Structure formats: C-alpha cells, structure tokens
Amino acid sequence: MDVQAIKRTFGIIGTDPELDRAIGIAAQVAATDLTVLITGESGTGKDVFPKIIHQNSARKHGQYFAVNCGAIPEGTIDSELFGHEKGAFTGAVGERKGYFEIADKGTLFLDEVGELPLSTQARLLRVLENGEFIRVGGSKVMKTDVRIVAATNVDLPLAIERGRFREDLYYRLNTIPIHIPALRERKGDIPLLFRKFAADFAERNHIPAITMTPEAMKMMENYRWDGNVRQLKNITEQISIMETERTITPETLAKYLPVKTQSSLPVLLPREETPDGMSERDLLYRVLFDMKKDIAELRAQVNNMNAGRPVEQNYVQSSPVTQIGDTVVTRVNQSEHEETEPEFAEFVPAEETHYTSGTTTETLSLEHHEREMIIKALEAHRGKRKDAAKALGISERTLYRKINEYGIDL
Ligand SMILES: Nc1ncnc2c1ncn2[C@@H]1O[C@H](COP(=O)(O)OP(=O)(O)O)[C@@H](O)[C@H]1O
Ligand SMILES: [Mg+2]
C-alpha cells in the first residue's frame, strides 16, 4: 500500500510531510520482522502505526495484540506478558499463556513501553534477542516468533540516564525509529483535522457542523495543543455540543482552550540550571513576582481611569496573580507526574479548562509580557543571545526556544 492508500484505509487526516514520512517508513518496514519504536507526545496518533505495520506484513493473518504496559500492575505484568505455571504464585490456580505465547506468528504492540519495570525489561530483552522466554514459576525455555512494535511518549534516553530504562533494551527496540511530530509542529493539518472532527460529530449527532471564523482558525493554528490531536478532537466535540451558534469566533474559542502556562514561562525544564545556579522554577517565581507588581500597578491605573464605573466591566478586577500562580504550580506538578504515570485515559480537559475569559486574557498578557521582556533584552544586547539570556536570568537554550516559540525576529 502506498502512503495515500494507508491514509484512506486507516482514516489518517493530514498532509504534513513529516507525518507522511512516518507512514512511509511504517509501510516500508512492515514486510520485515524488524522491531519498531514509535515515539511522539501523547495524542499525536501513535496507536494506528502498529496496525499499519501488522496489516501490511506477512503476519496479517496472525494475531495482533496491543498491551498497555503502563496500565498493568507491576505485580502481574510478567505473568501477563510471559504466562505462568500452575502454582507460580498465590492465586495461580491454573497455568496461563502470556501474550508472547498467544501472539506467536503475529504482532505484539507494547504501548507505553517506558513504563515497564526493570525486571520485566530484562525478560523482554531476552525474548527480543533470541525469541526465548520462561513462564513465571516455570523452568522450561520456550520459543516464540513475535514481531514487536513499541511506543512511548517518554524521553527514553532521559529515562536511561535516570536508571529507569535499560540502555541495551532501548537500542534493541529502537532498530527502526518512527517519530510522530507534535500537532504544533504541523499547524497546516489543524484546519483539516478540525473540519473532519466537526463533520464526523455533526453527522453522528444529526446537527449542523460548526465552522471557525478565519480569526478563530488562526487562533487554533497558533495554540500549543499539549494534548495534540486527541485534545483537538475533544475540544471540537465540546464546542459542537455546547455552542448553539455554529460559527465560532475567537471569543467563543477562548473559552475552550485550556490555559497552559507551560508554553509561556521558562520553568518546565526542571533539570536545567541557569549559569548562576538558579533553577528555572525559582526563575518562574521571580517572573511572577515582577508581574504581580506590574499587575498591581496596572490595576491601580485602571481603577483611577474607571473611577465610578461598575466593577464587573473590569477584567483586571479578578485576582489574576493568585490565579496565574495556581495554574502554574498545578501545571508543574502535573508535568512531573506525566513522566511516571501513563496516560491511558482519553484526554480529559475539564479540570484544566478555565472558562472565564478573565483568565485567558491574563495569560495572554503574561505571554505578551514575556515576549516583550525578551525583545527588550535582545535589543539591549544588540541581538547577542548569550548576553540577553544572562540578563534575563534564563539559559541560552531556553531563550532560543522562546525566540522560536514567539516568532521573535530581530
Ligand atoms: N492524523 C490523524 N487523523 C485522524 N485522527 C487522528 C489523527 N491522529 C490522531 N487521531 C485521533 O486522535 C486520537 C488520539 O490518537 P492516539 O493514537 O490514541 O494517540 P497516542 O497513542 O499518540 O497518544 C485518536 O482518537 C485518534 O484516532
Ligand atoms: Mg496511545
């Protein structure tokens, strides 16, 4: 099958060259028995790749099994994967075949492979190297012929560094790497995906499809989409249900796009230390502190200007700093969490969605503020990034990232 045929067959939307390339690699290696490792952020669309590989291989009449390694408790994962003998542990009343045995001559998809405990990683390495495994509680060496496709959204080299993932297993799994780009790296696909999700939802529910004004579509294209395609799909469906007006404006859209400060503050590289030894988290607090002062001043000015006008007309009247602070802190915790906890539920934006336009406005101004600070620092140091980074108290790497992110062109 060629790339276009695969897209049609598997319902993959998008024309991004990187995505096409990923599909092309999958098609090309399908016929071999090589191990494939699919990497990409959560929600980028990894799940369809092992299916493409299986369906385009000589194993397509064999079994296809998908195992979410992060969803199986550590105590039972070896038994699930490799089976167990009768009496192997309390409760093992009979023998049981594992997925490696059942999927013999087929394909096994090991999703969230980065979540495997180290002891299981050792067993997995062995079976990958010579097709041999031993059931839990058994002694007989068994043989299997399984093609492995693995996927992960964690940074495995980092996990190796932290002693959480075996390096030898990584190289063995990574024979053929396929990387799925984040949605923010293929902005051109956003309108296509939106239209498809809006149309599908409308058809299923017998309602007219929503459309975006050109400005709202621009906003969609510039949003970060930390939950990638999954998040885009969920938000499109939420708006489709909630809004009676079928043409969506930026104001309406803003109510649904969760405010993620991750993108706007130099905080989420916790391992990165700045030259003067401050952690990025410390820097965040410094930035927030400065901003708090600015907002207080702004508020005072607005209050003066609006003396006598009713309070509700005034965005800055809500307590933005606490709000921003809470959001940031929550986000930091969550992102630490994501590294250890698998995400196997569909993206649930409810808790992270801030429906007040006040919060959105504040965060936009937060980003604006940061952008301004960076531009000023660059101008003051005649475009020398090293010096500008130092003045801002952030690392050069962070500055570089932010220049790209904000499209600063000096
Ligand atoms: N290119 C795409 N075209 C259509 N739907 C997509 C595309 N990419 C992802 N999806 C949909 O987005 C959701 C998340 O994809 P999934 O493969 O589960 O992500 P991942 O496994 O990378 O976390 C699924 O509902 C999937 O069908
Ligand atoms: Mg997945």
Question: What are the pLDDT digits (tens) for 293-332?
Answer: 677 777 777 777 766 554 443 333 333 333 333 333 223 3
Q: Which ligand is nearest to the CA of 180?
A: 1
Both 233 and 323 in one domain: the answer is no
Q: How many CB atoms lie within 10 A of CB 289?
A: 11
Say if residue 365's pLDDT is above 70. Answer: no
Together in a domain, 140 and 69: yes
* Helix, strand, coil percent content, the chain, rounded in steps of 5: 55, 10, 35
From the CA of 268, how far away is ligand 1's center (Å)? 25
Residue 333: per-residue pLDDT: 33
User: Domain limits at 233?
Assistant: 186-257
Q: Pick the closest to residue 110 from 153, 151, 73, 144 (CA basis).
A: 151
Residue nearest to atom 17 of ligand 1 (CA): 45
The CATH number that applies at residue 238 is: 1.10.8.60
Closest CA to 214 of 259, 248, 258: 248
Mean of the per-residue pLDDT values of the chain: 81
Residue 346: its pLDDT value, please? Answer: 33
Residues 190 and 177 both lie in one domain: no
Q: Is residue 176 located within the same domain as residue 288?
A: no
Each residue's pLDDT tens digit, 114-136:
999 999 999 999 999 999 999 99
Nearest ligand 1 atom to alpha carbon 40: 22
Residues 120 and 100 in one domain: yes
Query: In the structure, what pLDDT confidence band is assigned to residue 264 with cuts at 50, 70 and 90?
Result: very low
- Would you place residue 371 in the very low, low, confident or very high pLDDT band (cuts 50, 70, 90)? confident
Asked whether the beta carbons of 325 and 290 are under 8 A apart, the reply is no
- Please give the number of the atom of ligand 1 that sits closest to the Cα of 13: 3
Considering the domain boundaries, does residue 199 fall inside one? Answer: yes
Res. 41: pLDDT tops 80: yes
- Give Cα separations from 335 to 73, 265, 330, 343 (angstroms): 22, 14, 9, 12
Looking at 181, 216, 232, the residue that finishes a domain is 181
Same domain for 322 and 366? yes
Domain match, 275 and 338 both: yes
d(CA 190, CA 184): 9
Query: Given the CA of residue 19, which atom of ligand 1 is nearest to it?
Result: 1
Judged against a pLDDT cut of 80, whether residue 199 lies above it is answered with: yes
Q: How far is the CA of 81 from the centre of ligand 2 (A)?
A: 18
Q: In this structure, are 193 and 173 located in the same domain?
A: no
User: Are 20 and 98 within one domain?
Assistant: yes
Average pLDDT over residues 23-46: 97
Confidence band, pLDDT 50/70/90 cuts, at residue 284: low
52 ligand 1 Cβ < 6 A: no
Atom of ligand 1 nearest to the CA of 196: 4
Residues 212, 339, single domain; the answer is no
Q: What is the CA(45)–ligand 2 centre distance, in A?
A: 7
Choosing from 120, 148, 181, the residue where a domain stops is 181
The answer to whether 253 touches 218, Cβ cutoff 8 Å, is no
As for how many domains the chain has, the answer is: 3
pLDDT at 109: 98
> Residues 109, 236: one domain?
no
410 occurs within a structural domain: no
CB of residue 40 inside a 6 A radius of ligand 1? yes
pLDDT of 80 > 90? The answer is: yes
Nearest listed ligand to the Cα of residue 178: 1
Mean pLDDT of 353-369: 52
pLDDT, one tens digit per residue, over 137-172 is 999 999 999 999 999 999 999 999 999 999 999 999
277 lies in the same domain as 362 = yes
